[in-house]
Amino acid sequence: MAKGKRYEGEFISVAGVRYRVEIWQEGYSGNVGELSFPYDTPLTIEWSEVNKIEPVMSSAATLTVISDSDRRFVDLYTTVAGSIRLDVYRENKKYWSGTLDPEIYEEPFAQQDGYDVTLTFSDFAILDRIKFEKTTRRFWSLQSLIDLCIEKSGIELEGVQEYISTTTDKGALLLANTCLIDENFFDEDNEPMTLREILDEMLRPFALRMQQKDGKAHVYDIHALHSLQTKPVRWCLDDSTLGVDQTFNNCELTFSPYMKNKLIEAENDPAWIKDSECTSHRVNVDYSDNNFPGFDMLLKPHNFAKSKFRIYDVLNLTKYFKIKPQLSGDSESGVAFVFHTRRGHQDYVPQCGHVSNTNVGAWVEMKEKPFVFYDYDKEKDYLINLKIEALVDVRYNPFEDAGDDNERGWWKEFNHQCNYSYIPFRLILRDENGQALFHYDNSEVLNTWLNVNTYETGRRWEPGEGNWESAHAAYYEKDVDGRKKKTGWGGWKTNQPIIGYYRWELPSIFDKMFEGEYIPMPPVSGWLEVQVGGALKMKDYGFEQTFDHQKIHWFLIKNVSMNLVGAYGQELSEGDIVVRAWVDKAAKEGMEIDTVCGTMPDGAHPTARGQFFLSSREVISNFTRAGVTDKVERLLLGTVYSQYYGRKKKLSGTADIVSELSPMTDEHEAGKFMIVSEIQDLIKDESNLAMVEIAQDNFTGVPFEEED
């Protein structure tokens, strides 16, 4: 909603500078009221003190106006935060902008008119209340995030001024060409960060600061600020003092890259399914005696929000299930493609669909679609492990031994005629617009009769969507004797590495491999989509008989997981990265810096959400500042060392107002200084300020202690 000007007023400082104050209100379209000010202190602007590498130096304005009638301004405090804006002009040029804090209000209660009312405004404080909202945009440049924060703050500025010495390792401008993925703005519980947190964390690794001054948002680093034209400080009172800035013994920087090696964990909690929304079917220990209940099978026909799966079935036969154990089974939940019931010696009655050998009429899709990053130099260091935990069975009760009343005959037949079985799945790599880039294909391995060596060459990524014949999950016994005599099923089972109809001893490497399908890294970055089809291929060891699919009474999917693993299937760590450097060993206290955006020590990582990206979606492994190209963490420690090594001078006192951002000098003290706190009294044209000595970044001889 557009804002309309509600109030306006002017005053002239003791130095003859004209200031104009405007108050704008969201949705206001009436007449503009005139503001009157007390003579002594109508308006002050304060930048509270922060250290030299703190990312955001926010400011607040205190406006004092005279209320000529009772409670004239009280309605301003009944509005939503951000809906009232203060604009300050210095000689008709935008000088400062901020929004009203509606939680701070006080006025004299005993007077009806002629009393002072104080209004408090701030520039970036409101960002602490605004959560990041996911949009269709997945990658955000640092510039776009700064623009978003300024927009959401509700302030009106004359643009963003950059003084930045850091570039990408290819020399590209930092803000426009460095991106973050939006998944880094959400925690493990999918709770979003506030915009202030995002602003802080994206600036911190580069030692960047953001500050409003002279009607602009200035984004700068100390190295670049040091090279700007200086301005002399002019002390106007006799209260100026000389001191020293704080220094530190060492600095420990901890980068939490938000690695997510567990890409997908799709398993429903039974508690998510309400009994009242289900049909219930009793499965006894066996079908001979109804007095011994095995478990209750509850079926829910419709998709629901909490489910980690999404069912696609044009016939609406596939259902969600929940098992409530009595004497058999465990409490479990998932998706039922096939479930048949019977009472005593009567025929089986299907409660879901039928399993097919080839046609996929129903499937489940994992709601989670993780992003993986591609790096040519690292693609051989990782694999993706996909596990599909399923239950396929011919017995009446799949959790009890086969017996006369639990399909002993069919179970024996199943073990002889279903030695190899395969569930189709689709693994599709999509771009941020949902278009298919590549799909995983292991069909060459599946269709190989004899040569198991195709395992190495037959698993690949192919362009496009693929189809249900592209990839299958395999279920079999690993030892050759087991494959001759047993099915790969019986209770809950997880797929093994893909093989075709191979009838010899498997190579020893298969003994060392864990469960699941081992998938090479995709050839480009993108989002992974997993679908599991409700079909089943089955072959016997001799490749002579075909098992009757109508005898399969159970086909359930309980869990689908996908993990990033090492090149040999080993589990990967998700630890933080710690870098340390000495600053001044004579100092007592240490400095600690925590970052959530940064660079990995060994190049790109496939799942680290905290990495920086180019607009081309390539991971940025190094940045350049002051002629040095290195990890951004080491550059930051170099800045800390440069700015805090030795005792840097600190000057404070009352000076002529400093209206623009610039490095400062003092006629009595050598060096350049940066203002770290300031209170401007506009009618007096005075600044009560503190400024500390700064130096250009120098990375020569930075005593890095160690890296973990």
Q: Based on the domain organization, do 246 and 118 belong to the same domain?
A: yes
In a domain, 590, yes or no: no
The verdict on 56 and 167 lying in the same domain is yes
Cα–Cα distances in angstroms (integers) from residue 354 to residues 266, 336, 359, 480, 517, in the given order: 23, 10, 11, 31, 26
∠534-535-538 over CA atoms, to 5°? 145
Residues 375 and 488 in one domain: yes
Same domain, 236 and 151: yes
Question: How much is the pLDDT for 104?
Answer: 60
Rounded to two decimals, the pTM is 0.88
In whole angstroms, give the CA distance from residue 644 to residue 695: 9
Domain stop point among 566, 587, 618: 566
- Token pair of 339 as six digits: 């479930």
For residue 440, what are its two tokens? 């995983």
pLDDT of residue 623: 97
Q: Quick one: 522 and 664 in the same domain?
A: no
Please tell me whether residues 94 and 227 are part of one structural domain: yes
Amino acid 437: pLDDT: 98
- 465 and 569 in contact (C-beta within 8 Å)? no
Beta strands 241-244; 179-181: pairing state: unpaired
Q: Of 566, 597, 614, which closes a domain?
A: 566
Asked, for residue 173, whether it belongs to a domain, the answer is yes
Domain boundary among 566, 582, 598: 566
Distances from the Cα of 202 to the Cα of 141, 247, 256, 259, 691, angstroms = 10, 25, 13, 17, 25
Residue 284 lies in a domain: no
Residue 245 belongs to domain spanning: 3-258+637-707
Is residue 619 within 8 A of residue 376, CB to CB? The reply is: no
Per-residue pLDDT tens for 51-77?
A: 999 999 999 999 999 887 666 677 777
Least Cα distance to 406 among 395, 417, 414, 398 occurs for 395
Determine, yes or no, domain membership for 334.
Answer: no
Half-sphere exposure of 158 (CA within 13 A, CB side): 12
Residue whose entry in the numeric block shows the structure tokens 């993990």: 563
Q: Interhelix angle for 142-153 vs 195-203, to 10°? A: 140
Strand bridging mode 591-595 / 250-255: parallel
| pLDDT value, residue 106 | 58
Q: Which residues pair with 12 in a beta bridge?
A: 18
Domain membership of residue 306 (yes or no) is no
pLDDT over threshold 50, residue 110: no
Tell me the C-alpha distance between 217 and 150, whole Å.
9
**Which residues does 148 contact at the CB level (< 8 Å), separation at least 6?**
140, 195
Q: H helices of 367-420, where?
A: 408-417
Q: Mean pLDDT over residues 357-367, rounded?
A: 90
Q: How far is CA 538 from CA 365, 406, 411, 423, 497, in A?
A: 23, 22, 14, 9, 16
Q: Count CB atoms within 10 A of the CB of residue 578.
A: 14
| Gyration radius (Cα) of the chain, Å | 34
Q: Classify residue 177: in a domain, yes or no.
A: yes
What's the pLDDT tens digit per position in 665-702?
A: 999 999 999 999 999 999 999 999 999 999 999 888 88
Is residue 16 assigned to a domain? yes
CA distance 102 to 45: 18
Number of domains present in the structure of the chain: 2
Look-up: residue for tokens 């602009």?
A: 216
**pLDDT at position 626:** 92
Whole-number pLDDT of residue 108: 53
**238: in domain:** yes
**What rounded mean pLDDT belongs to the chain?**
91
Residue with tokens 């190209």: 629
